[in-house]
Amino acid sequence: MIDLRALEADPTPGYASQKARGEDPALIDQAIAADRKRREALSEFESARAEQKSVSKSVGKASPEERPAVLAKAKELAAHVKELEAEANKAAEEARAIAMRIDNIVSPEAPTGGEENFTDLEHVGERRDFAAEGFEPKDHLAVAEGLDAIDMKRGAKVSGSRFYYLKGIGARMELAFLTMAWDQAEAAGFVPMITPTMVSPQTMGGTGFLGAHADEIYHLEADDLYLTGTSEVALAGYHTDEILDLSNGPKRYTGWSTCYRREAGAAGRDTRGIIRVHQFNKVEMFSYCRIEDAAEEHKRLLGWEREMLGKMELPYRIIDTAAGDLGSSAARKFDCEAWLPSQERWMEVTSTSNCTQFQARRLGIRERIEQDGRQVTRPVATLNGTLATTRWLVALFENHQQADGSLYIPKAMRPYLGGRELIEPVNA
């Protein structure tokens, strides 16, 4: 949720953000008006309640002759106060409902435009010239099936389309790089967490995932719980309604969880194999920090993602996502995209978002600071970043395949795979 007081003081950033996202700027005016109505209703209620208390106190001091009139007045005020309290609560609910519809204010540094208007920041690593090596690269599924590493047919038989079995070296490889990511995160000071994968509507909505893309989330109606599409949700909810001590720097957690997504709108080439599936595993970084430190923390998260991609020996690029392609909670987002030889295109493998105070404001996560000589509380900033996920297998299979069907194992992964340097094909 955005800061409505700041928005009322200067609505210009709100208008600009809504336009950049392709949303209605008029919602800003509606939110400001609703919040003003809320404050007026609250003020009227508090004023009437103060009068009621004053009259009630005077009952004991009234003479026997005056007492019936004073009691009647107190009773009348009590009923009026009850009405005003209901009106104030209703105004507060309406104001919050409107405010919850507004996405986070986009960073002025984010590129303008839609999905195709990102800024290409950097290319890292060399793309292999398969033609010079004398063979045409297979897609990841063909490579994986040759290694007996993925079984899509039986996954579909058991659970439906876009489900799969990782088996043999496929299962071992996923565990290898996820464990490597966790080791890296712990070495950098992150607290490892195995997180819940079902959360309440309050937690899911508080993180900003029940907006335009809510249809991509699995909802368990009987329990009124949501299956998470990232451990970011559970990690963000971890400190709900708490006051954090950030005097020694950010609080950092890394969550390992199974993730679930409907992928309702996905179609075409991404549906072959495991590029877009309904269930996968992921290691996610999450940070709570002071708002003044958020931009630098964002760069640190990107740096840790780069470190992991370097260990995987993958060619990739970094893009600054355009405002119209940001999730509702992100003010700015960097994506790392690995090269996909079989399709000659880039494929997202990690992303890191600066959510500023948006999630923390909705979830009631604050810190104490000194302001004008006194202690006050304010929302913290939250940030997240993917450190490894099942989709990395796609990039690994395609970029490290060999002409004979075998698979090269990156040096950093070898200790996690019993020292294996090369995986020989099973079904050549």
Q: Is 361 a catalytic residue?
A: no
Residues 40 and 140 in one domain: no
Choosing from 38, 162, 261, 332, the catalytic residue is 261
pLDDT of residue 2: 78
Q: How far apart are CA 398 and CA 385, in angstroms?
A: 24
In a domain, 166, yes or no: yes
Q: Is 348 a catalytic residue?
A: yes
pLDDT at residue 419 above 80? Answer: yes
| Of 272 and 379, more confident | 379
Residue ranges for the known binding site are 230-232, 261-263, 277-280, 284, 348-351, 384, 386
Residues 254 and 298 in one domain: yes
Q: Is 391 a catalytic residue?
A: yes
Q: Write down which residue in 99, 128, 146 finishes a domain.
A: 99
- % residues pLDDT > 90 (the chain): 82
Residues 8 and 152 in one domain: no
pLDDT of residue 264: 62
Choosing from 276, 300, 332, 366, the catalytic residue is 276
Question: 12-21 and 26-58 helices cross at what angle (nearest 10)?
Answer: 130
In a domain, 145, yes or no: yes
In a domain, 106, yes or no: no
Hunting for tokens 């508080």 — which residue is that? 206
Extended strands (E) in 90-224: 119-124, 150-151, 165-166, 191-194, 198-199, 219-220
| CA distances for 417 relative to 185, 248, 411, angstroms | 19, 37, 10
Domain that holds residue 255: 117-421
Question: 169-187 and 294-311 helices cross at what angle (nearest 10)?
Answer: 140
Residues 328 and 214 in one domain: yes
In a domain, 112, yes or no: no
pLDDT of residue 373: 87
Residues 360 and 404 in one domain: yes
pLDDT at residue 265 above 60? Answer: no
Residues 81 and 187 in one domain: no
Residues 163 and 235 in one domain: yes
- The answer for residues whose C-beta is within 8 angstroms of residue 70's C-beta and 6 or more apart is 55, 58, 59, 62
Residues 251 and 290 in one domain: yes
How does pLDDT run across 287-343, given as a tens digit for each residue? 999 999 999 999 999 999 999 999 999 999 999 999 999 999 999 999 999 999 999
Q: Quick one: average pLDDT of 400-420?
A: 97
Number of C-beta neighbours around residue 264 at 10 A: 10
How does pLDDT run across 191-221, given as a tens digit for each residue? 999 999 999 999 999 999 987 678 889 999 9
pLDDT of residue 315: 98
Which candidate, 265, 271, 257, 249, places its Cα nearest to that of 216?
Answer: 265
pLDDT of residue 267: 58
Number of C-beta neighbours around residue 212 at 10 A: 11
pLDDT band at 427 (very low <50, low <70, confident <90, very high): low
The total domain count for the chain is: 2
- % residues pLDDT > 70 (the chain): 97
Contact of 198 with 222, CB cutoff 8 Å: no
Question: 169-187 and 392-399 helices cross at what angle (nearest 10)?
Answer: 110
pLDDT at residue 177 above 80? Answer: yes
Residue ranges for the known binding site for ATP are 261-263, 277-280, 348-351
Q: Quick one: average pLDDT of 245-270?
A: 86
- In the three-class reduction of DSSP (H, G, I as helix; E, B as strand; rest coil), residue 4 is classed as helix
In a domain, 365, yes or no: yes
CATH number at residue 34: 1.10.287.40
CATH number at residue 133: 3.30.930.10
Residue ranges for the known binding site for L-serine are 230-232, 261, 284, 384, 386
Q: Quick one: average pLDDT of 250-273?
A: 84
Q: Quick one: average pLDDT of 74-79?
A: 87
Q: How far apart are CA 358 and CA 3, in angstroms?
A: 8
Choosing from 348, 378, 406, 420, the catalytic residue is 348
How does pLDDT run across 84-132, given as a tens digit for each residue? 999 999 999 998 889 888 999 999 999 999 999 999 999 999 999 999 9
Residues 135 and 7 in one domain: no
Q: Quick one: average pLDDT of 393-416?
A: 97
For the chain, helix (H) and strand (E) counts, in that order, are 13, 18
Q: Quick one: average pLDDT of 367-381?
A: 93
**Mean pLDDT, the chain, as a whole number?**
93
Residues 265 and 372 in one domain: yes
Residues 90 and 125 in one domain: no
Backbone angles phi, psi at 369, to 5 degrees: -135, 165
pTM over 0.85: yes
pLDDT band at 134 (very low <50, low <70, confident <90, very high): very high
Choosing from 351, 361, 367, 398, the catalytic residue is 351
Contact of 111 with 320, CB cutoff 8 Å: yes
Q: Quick one: average pLDDT of 121-147?
A: 96
pLDDT of residue 372: 85
pLDDT band at 428 (very low <50, low <70, confident <90, very high): low
Q: How far apart are CA 257 and CA 229, in angstroms?
A: 9
Burial of 419 (0-12, 13-18, 19+ CB in 10 A): exposed
Choosing from 300, 366, 391, 398, the catalytic residue is 391
- The answer for residues whose C-beta is within 8 angstroms of residue 30's C-beta and 6 or more apart is 98
